[in-house]
Structure 1
Amino acid sequence: MNRIQVINELSWWLLLLLLAVEPWLTNKNVIFGVAFSQGEFWQKPFPRRLRRWYLLVLLGGGLLFNLLLLNSSQKTTWLLLGMPLLLGLSLLTFGIFHHKILNWQLQQKTDLQLTKQCLSVDTQQLSENELSAWWLVTLLILPFTAVISASFNYADLPAKLPVHFSFTGPDAWINKSQGGVWKVLVMQFGITLIFILLTWLMRRSPAAVRGNSQAVPGFYRFRRSIYFLLIFAGLLSQVTLSTPFLTQQNQLVFWLNRLNLIFVLILVIMPLLFYWFFTLRHEPHGPILNDNSKWLLGLIYYDPHDPSIFVQKRSGLGFTLNMARPASWVILGGIFVFAIIAAWLQN
């Protein structure tokens, strides 16, 4: 097995494990995207059996796809075919089990703590736990530093500059003499603006806790930690993109390889730690808003009456878009357009 195959295998199993444990990465009163008033439903035989089946289906399907696809040394084979198959299997299985849990919930005794009535949110507590929006300005420091460095040290820059990165470091390059420097800087500013916009919108979503704030204990601290993580990830990505402008040529690949590895580890490990400290150890209590009908397949949030663009994911870590808001589609379209532009700049 060559180096590319080893990297493909590690990437595949990391993605597979994150998908397979998704039903466990949730609030204590949520099972397959269905909210209950208390967490004791986790221990009922039927939900426990479904979680085990979900784990077996994902691991079994992932192993099968692995045997069929990942023996190829071509990265595009598993990237363009294997990963969509795995994500499709996860979505289909999760959606089926979501409906099974919904039907099972209807058979349980009526619980007055699970309500469809509108509940108030302690917005003062939310504002007290927010990081200042001025933190977003820090994301602009490195791009401007890279512009200054490129302007004054153009002659000393490497003949080729990296424009794409894999788990082993840079794997696509562009010629400096063909305007590569300025194309890289444009990409860097584009990524910076995306981080700023997404983080700012997530910070401003006032209805991210819909109902009693104690229904999601520790949510404010979890939200603040994700906000900080996005800023830190943005800074780290800027360090990666700025490395050709800030380091000597003979040390370029060395630093890029290590920065890329650190970047991946942080994005995987830190959300898990935040989940452990701010979600897993807290038991919900008080009235809990029943908005199960707003979550399609338990994963996709759609509520025209909710002003939030970003809401906390029902299952999994982080935040997701409210697909009933036009701004959400604008954001998705903007990211898609930027990806096309970035691909064009690389070529």
Structure 2
Amino acid sequence: MPPRRQQQQQSQPQRAQRKYEPPAKRRMELVASVSRSSGLEKDGDALRDFKLQEEYRDFIQGKVDDCWKRYPSGRVPEDAKHRDEMRGNICILFRKLREAILATKRSDTFAVEVCETSMYSAILFSSPKDATSAISLLIPGLYKSQSRPPPTCPAAVTASLLYYLLVAYPSQSRYGEHLDYVPKGLIPDGIRQWLRDLTRALRQHSYSRLERLTERGAVETALGSASARPANEPKPGAPSDLALEALCGLLDSIRSRARDTTWTILRSAYRELSCPKPTDAPASTFTRDWLLRCLLLRRVAPNDDKKSDEQLLDDWLTERVSRAELRPKDGAEGRWIVCKLKT
């Protein structure tokens, strides 16, 4: 029987040759991006394997669920920096998976789901480059490769059109180019008419009409039966309908851009604004209601900040004062002097 020291010396090479297998979650963290792999590294092209792509999608979903659980949808986060870091990492993971789908020319329902979900996530997480990348892969390529458009297609196409309407605002040229690029069969008549009315209201600065067209109910009506509700119950903190949440977020952003345009017009047209605190007299609320509608101050996407109309307008007035765009009129409560634009 060899001495104990000799046994240890013999076992050391065996331990050195034994390959370390990291936990499954850790292995997913280490998966290389297809675009950064030359194909020479070991496991450099691992994501070209369809099964691994599906496992990687589950891994990403775990990250998404953790993010929503920690930072629920519609709530103002206490640590916005950390939330944005988590969201940014999720966008990177989705980007890596999209690259693998593109590299393998995968065009099944899995590929469609990945691109749709990553597009909605990029919109909600304010990642324009990822939203653009997902849209370019999804429309029209992946949809055209399907035997028939999936039920999720109308909502995704609508989101892509609203996205391009937003990024080039006030110009509608990119929106028009993308609309021409989308096969006609992918846009139901109800959505096409709603988009036509919406873009016309923006061009004509008809913001009272725009308020009605950008309400949550308006987009739900336009989608109609094309609004595909998720089959599974959402995880804690996650939106009940990711597609609808992204659409409402886009409409809120469009409202914000339109609000700035409206305010520029109002500043050039009015010398004073009369916004007294609301009382029982109808005249006291007329201007306030008019401003709420014209400035599109009511949010479309659901949130926990349940501010009344009075609070919304008062906050907006306070912000204009801080920017030296309004100032209270001396000796006249509820009246505001409009500070003109410098020419």
Shorter-normalised TM range = under 0.3
Q: Which has the higher contact order (CA 8 A, sep 6+)?
A: 1
- With structure 2 as the length reference, what TM-score do the two structures score? 0.26
Greater strand content = 1
- With structure 1 as the length reference, what TM-score do the two structures score? 0.26
